[in-house]
Every structure is written in structure tokens, then in C-alpha cells.
Chain A
Amino acid sequence: MTDIALNTTHGPSRNWGKLALRWLLFTLLGIFALFYLMPLFVMVTTSLKSLEEIRTGSLVAFPREVTFEAWRTAWSGACTGIQCEGLRPYFWNSVILAIPAVAISTILGAINGYVIAQWKFKGANLIFSLMLFGCFIPFQVVLLPMARMLGIMGIAGTIPGLIFVHVIYGIGFTTLFFRNYYVSIPQELVKAAKVDGAGFFRIFWSIFLPLSLPIIVVTVIWQFTQIWNDFLFGVSFSQAGTQPITVALNNIVNSTTGVKEYNVDMAAAIIAALPTLLVYVVAGKYFIRGLTAGSVKG
């Protein structure tokens, strides 16, 4: 912890300067807060206005008359191309896509991390480096062969296909998270357990897993955010009916038929953002930990 409030030089004449500085500080912080909050504010207020009010009123004004019509349309009536079922089916696509993809990649990451951190064998570090490197590649470089591979496997354009893709390209990160967590657990623990006759899986199950709650939370949040917010894989490997919510949102916003309904666009954007925002608000601490862990190395 550093202890560095704006340096104080004593004496009553300095107090005014200090106070002014303090005000300046809060003003600046307030302006920045407004900059970050403004888009959210505009999204929410726009989504609650009628189109008429949007055309006549100001961007940053509160709605004169609150209407949830746009939300209803966004959820169950907006057109994504030729279909007009709103975001609802795509929201559920994203849910049934994210749950297994997050679960499988987290489980694989845990077991991989456990091996790499605690059961070192010759070449384990090389394997880890290769996996780590896989986190950094621009996914464009695997899009074409993956599209063909999914076709060969018979899961092109399906949700299982998307789950498969997210699991494969999520393993690197989840392994990294668990490896870095398990590496700080003393190896004597495994040795002692082995002497007591416990095997590989028993040690994982009874010793490591119970210690893992924080890193499981971090990994699940990280993976959920990544997968829910993904657009590139979604748009490349889905077809009409299996698209995740980000793709549907983009289709609603960019659909060229009919009147542009900005209030519906904003309601749809908020719906698409809600799950990850909720996770952020509820578990912000773990979210930030994942971000910094994943970024200092990822």
C-alpha cells in the first residue's frame, strides 16, 4: 500500500490550495465517470422512449413518457433478416451454448493445470508453452480449416459445433489459470498423499479440488464472458436458427428493412449485455482477477 495523498505542506495559507486541488481531483474523476456512464445512460433512456420522442427530443434527455414497447419488440418481435422472433431464441442459443462450453473447458483446464503444476514430466513445460501460445493467435488463422473440419465432423452450423470450437480455444486460458494457481501449492502435499497410498485422481478430488473454489470462480467468469461476448466464432460457424445472441443483435441493428427503430436496437443491446453485466456487478472482484491474470499473460 502506498501512502501518497497529494503532498501536504503545512501552514494555513496552503489549506486553500489543498482544498482546491481536492475539488479539481473530484471534478476530474466525476467527468471521467460521466464519460464511462454516458453510453449506458443513453442506451437505457433511448430504449424507454417512443420513436417519436427519439426524433424530437434530445439524446441525453430522460424519457418524457416511459414505454417498454421497444423491450417487448427486442425480446420477441424484432427482425434478424427474414425472421422476426426477436432476441429470445438467440438468447437461449447463447445460454445452451455457454453452459456446456464453460463447464467442459473449465474441467479440462483444472485437470490439465493439475498435471502441469504438480505431476511434472519431461516435456510438460514445452506442452504448457505450446498451449499458452495458442491463447495468443488471431483466430482468423484457424477459421478456414475449422469451417471444413466442422463440416467433416458433421456439426457445421450447429450449437454442438460452436461448443466444440469454444472448448478447443478455451483450453489454453483455463489451463493457464489453474496451472498458475496450483503451482503455488507445495509439492510435498502430493508426495505425502502418495505415501499414504492416494492415487492421481484421489489426490485431485480430495485435496486439490476443495482448495480450488476461487480459481474455479475466476475461470468460469472469464470463460462465460468470453463465450457470451464472442462474435467471430458465432458469425463464422452458425447458420440461421443457431446464431448466438451477439450475431442476432448485430443482425437486428443492421437489418435494412423497414423503419430504423433505435429504441429497439438499444433494448436489444442491453438484453445482450445483461448477463455479463450482471456477473460483473455480482462478482466484480473475480472478474478483475481473471482479467489481470489472463492479461498479464494473455
Chain B
Amino acid sequence: MTEWLERHIPKMVLAPSFIAILVFVYGFIAWTAWVSLTRSRLLPKYEIDGLIQYERLFASPRFDTAMMNLFIFGTLFIIISMVLGLLIAILLDQKIRTEGVLRTIYLYPMALSMIVTGTAWKWIMNPGLGIEKMVRDWGFENFSFNWVVDPDMAIYAVVIAGVWQASGFVMALFLAGLRSVDGEIIKAAQVDGIPSWRIYSAIIIPSMAPIFLSAFIVLAHLAIKSFDLVIALTGGGPGYATDLPATYMYAMAFSRGDIGQAASSAMVMMAVVFAIIVPYLYSELRTKHD
């Protein structure tokens, strides 16, 4: 009996967490998937009724805007954060004596809640009292910077705040990558008189491909999940100009009382995450097991 117990203790210890994950992750995903196929409104119904919710979803101009915004925000957020992160990492890699201090400065936004970031930038970009007023007071009377209240530009305001928050983190990833490149190869290249920009572009950066992939995955993941940032910065507005699938889902679930739409939009978000994460996880796990 004690021997049996001893042999099975590891499984029994893992079991509660495993069951919790099965129920609260996989079971719940299944529930949401199921409900997304029904005519649920204020209360969930369980009779499957085809793809009606998805038809409504893709016919909805608001969700259309949300997907378009995710695309614009995601693309710009990922590209700018990566370029900025890489640039700063390379600059920091030049034997800077104050590197520690600078790194701390570049990375601290990552410790903040996106609600704090959104609140701060909302104030900075306030059309009446923020940057706009500051520049006008300097004498540029016609200067205008009202992105947060301009439906066509508000999503770019979200990009600014997002990049501010996440680019330092990308910098830290790249800096670690730069430091892990084989020093011998670089020394050899230096001895051969190859200029540093060539060493970076031809040797170091290509060898960091896995880090580019990681950074991309993290940023894409952050972009899809971005909810708090939009809520704090623009509230999804003006109108629903800065809605993302995440805010659309939340509005349907908790203020519009449209569970069917909430479930189907959540499943679309899930599908987007899948499309990005699954190939990555698959390759990760495969290389681990080989």
C-alpha cells in the first residue's frame, strides 16, 4: 500500500492542477466554441444553430473596424517596437559606461499596468492641455496634435503608447541576443578590417533569427490581448474608432448582453492566436524532444 502510494504520489500531486487546466482552459474553450454556434443573447442557449453568430460578426461594421484596427495596430506596434528595440540594443552594445542606468530607464514601462500607460498618454496627448498646447505656446500657433479624439488617427495614438510600453522589453531581448553571439567570429572579422555596420548586418543580426521570432511572438501576443491600453487611452472611441476584437468581445459580453456575439468574437481572437502560436510552439516542442 505505501509502495503503491509512493509510486503514484507524483501523479496525484499533479492531478489537481491538471484537472483545473482541463476544465478551466479546455473545457471553457469548448463551452465558448459551443455557445458561439447558438442563438444565445442575454442568456446562453445550447441548441446548435450553425454559423449564424459568425455571419452576424463578419457582417458587423463594428467588428470589421475592430479587425482592421487589430491589423493596423498589430503591424505598426510589432514593426516599430522591433526596429526601435534593435536600434537601442545595438547602440547600448557599444561599451557604454552608463549601460545599467540606461537599460533601467528603457525597460521600466514594462513594469507598469497598461491602464497606467493609457492614463499617462491620454493626458500627454490631451488636445487642449497636452503636447498640442505645449507646442502652440512655443509659438507654433497652427500646430495640431489631436489624435486621441480624431477617429482616423486615434488608433495611431494607441500605437505610440503601446510602443512606449513594449519596445524597451524588445531591446532587452535583443541585447541578450547580441551578447550571446560568438565573440571569436566577431574578433576575426574585426581583424580583417570589416566595418562594424557590416559585422552587425552580415554576422550578428542574421545569427539572432530565433530572437526575432521570440520578439515577434511576444509582441503579436501582446497586440491581440491589448484591451486595457485601449480602454484607458480612448475607451474604444471616438465612437468605436479604436475598438479591437478584445474590446468588442467585452462590450458584447458585459454591456450589450449579446453572449453569442461575445463567444464568436472570442473564438476569432483564439483563431488568430492559434495561427501565430501553434507553428511556433510546435517547432519549439519538437526541437526539445529530438
A43 touches B (CB below 8 Å): yes
A291 touching B281 by the CB < 8 A rule? Answer: no
CA distance A273 to B119 in the complex (A): 11
With contact pairs A141-B266, A144-B253, A269-B116 given, residues A287 and B111 touching in the complex (Cβ less than 8 Å): yes
Q: Number of A residues whose C-beta is below 8 Å from B?
A: 100
A84 touches B (CB below 8 Å): no
With contact pairs A7-B190, A36-B109, A265-B119 given, residues A138 and B273 touching in the complex (Cβ less than 8 Å): yes
B17 touching A59 by the CB < 8 A rule? Answer: no
* Nearest-Cβ distance from residue A266 to partner chain B, whole angstroms: 6
B96 touching A229 by the CB < 8 A rule? Answer: no
A36 touching B246 by the CB < 8 A rule? Answer: no
CA distance A60 to B253 in the complex (A): 40
Q: Which of A26-34, A62-70, A154-162, A205-213 contacts B (4 or more CB under 8 A)?
A: A26-34
B112 touches A (CB below 8 Å): yes
- Beta-carbon contacts under 8 Å, B1-35 to A: 6, 9-11, 13-14, 17-18, 20-22, 24-29, 31-32, 35
* Nearest-Cβ distance from residue A131 to partner chain B, whole angstroms: 5
Q: Which of A75-83, A85-93, A95-103, A109-117 contacts B (4 or more CB under 8 A)?
A: A109-117
Q: Which residues of B contact A127 (CB under 8 A)?
A: 14, 18
- Beta-carbon contacts under 8 Å, B87-128 to A: 88, 91-96, 102, 104-117, 119-124, 126
B94 touching A171 by the CB < 8 A rule? Answer: no
Give the interface of B toward A (CB within 8 A). 6, 9-11, 13-14, 17-18, 20-22, 24-29, 31-32, 35, 44, 88, 91-96, 102, 104-117, 119-124, 126, 129-131, 133-134, 137, 164, 168-169, 172-173, 176, 178-179, 181, 183, 186-187, 190, 193-196, 199, 204, 214, 217-218, 221, 224-225, 227-228, 231-232, 235, 245-246, 249-250, 253-254, 259, 262-263, 265-267, 269-270, 273, 277, 281, 284-285, 289
What are 10 A-B pairs with beta-carbon distances under 8 A?
A2-B179, A37-B105, A54-B129, A121-B11, A134-B25, A142-B32, A147-B253, A229-B115, A230-B113, A253-B232
Give the interface of A toward B (CB within 8 A). 1-7, 9, 25-26, 28-29, 32-33, 35-40, 42-43, 46, 54-55, 58-60, 108, 111-112, 115-116, 119, 121, 124-125, 127, 129-134, 136-149, 168-169, 171-172, 175, 199-201, 225, 228-232, 235-236, 246, 249-250, 253-254, 262, 265-266, 268-269, 272-273, 276-277, 279-281, 284, 287-288, 291-292, 295-298
